[in-house]
């Protein structure tokens, strides 16, 4: 998504790049009036009304019905996703980044989750045990929860929290961007490889390709 959605007091100064402003009905009559504002400096964002539909066991806007639940959604079922991944001769990391399998996992979270669970991202889903895949998906959940608690990562300059400030999650990364540094688990140097036109960061000892 481009831009930010802010919820602020109606009398707060208007942002220069506010493109849409909604007055919110408060549930308490004595509460100060609030507004939801869509602010986008780069004007790549959009806002539109959509029908709701049921997909993957939850109600979502119909234009995103093809997108699988992300690991922090109630509808996310690690066992079911692991079963799906086991049926495919596709690299595990590719599936982690595939929104039709699981959404919301970017390159940084994928590398961190793979490192935590000791899985090499190039291994095929069909060659990894279901237990390992569940561990991997659980690790992705943990990484995302920790990142959220800390405000996200600051690697991507466009990734800012709702207040427009970069996060501090990068301080606690174990694999991503750590090439040349010792693995915190075994001391082997973390390496960077090319994968799907991006970089993968991993420990060659903890994450064997086999």
- Under rule CB under 5 A, residue 133 binds Zn ion: no
Of positions 181, 205, 208, 209, contacts Zn ion by CB under 5 A: 205
Collapse the DSSP code of 99 into the 3-class scheme (helix H, G, I; strand E, B; otherwise coil) and give the result. Answer: coil
Residue span binding Zn ion (CB under 5 A) among the ranges 40-48, 65-73, 121-129, 195-203: 195-203
Distance in Å, CB of 80 to Zn ion, minimum: 30
The HSE-up count of residue 187 (CA atoms within 13 Å, CB side) is 0
Residues in the chain: 210
Rounded to 5 degrees, φ, ψ at 52 are: -95, 145
Of positions 181, 185, 198, 209, contacts Zn ion by CB under 5 A: 185
Rounded to 5 degrees, φ, ψ at 159 are: -90, 100
- Under rule CB under 5 A, residue 186 binds Zn ion: yes
How many residues touch Zn ion under the rule CB under 5 A: the total is: 7
Nearer to Zn ion, 95 or 202 (CB): 202
- Under rule CB under 5 A, residue 206 binds Zn ion: yes
Residue 87: name the closest of 130, 49, 131, 51 by CA.
130
Q: Within the chain, what is the greatest distance between any pair of CA atoms?
A: 64
Residue 93 Cα to chain centre, angstroms: 14
- Under rule CB under 5 A, residue 181 binds Zn ion: no
Nearer to Zn ion, 130 or 208 (CB): 208
Report the interface residues with Zn ion, using CB under 5 A: 183, 185-186, 188, 203, 205-206
């Amino acid at each position: 998504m481009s831009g930010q959605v802010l919820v602020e007091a109606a009398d707060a100064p208007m942002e220069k790049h506010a493109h849409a402003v909604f007055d919110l009905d408060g549930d308490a009559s004595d509460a100060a009036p609030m507004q939801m504002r869509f602010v986008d400096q780069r004007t790549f964002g959009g806002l539109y009304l959509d029908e709701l539909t049921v997909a993957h066991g939850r109600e979502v806007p119909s234009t995103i019905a093809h997108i699988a639940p992300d690991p922090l959604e109630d509808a996310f079922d690690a066992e079911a996703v692991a079963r799906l991944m086991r049926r495919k001769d596709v690299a595990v990391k590719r599936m982690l980044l595939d929104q039709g399998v699981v959404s919301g996992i970017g390159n940084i979270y994928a590398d961190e989750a793979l490192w935590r669970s000791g899985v090499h991202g190039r291994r095929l889903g069909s060659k990894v045990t279901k237990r390992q895949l569940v561990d991997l998906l659980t690790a992705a959940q943990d990484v995302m929860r920790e990142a959220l608690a800390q405000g996200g990562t600051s690697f991507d300059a466009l990734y800012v929290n709702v207040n427009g400030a970069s996060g501090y999650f990068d301080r606690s990364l174990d694999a991503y961007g750590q090439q040349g540094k010792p693995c915190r688990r075994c001391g082997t140097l973390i390496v960077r490889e090319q994968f799907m036109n991006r970089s993968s960061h991993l420990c060659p000892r903890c994450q064997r390709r086999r």
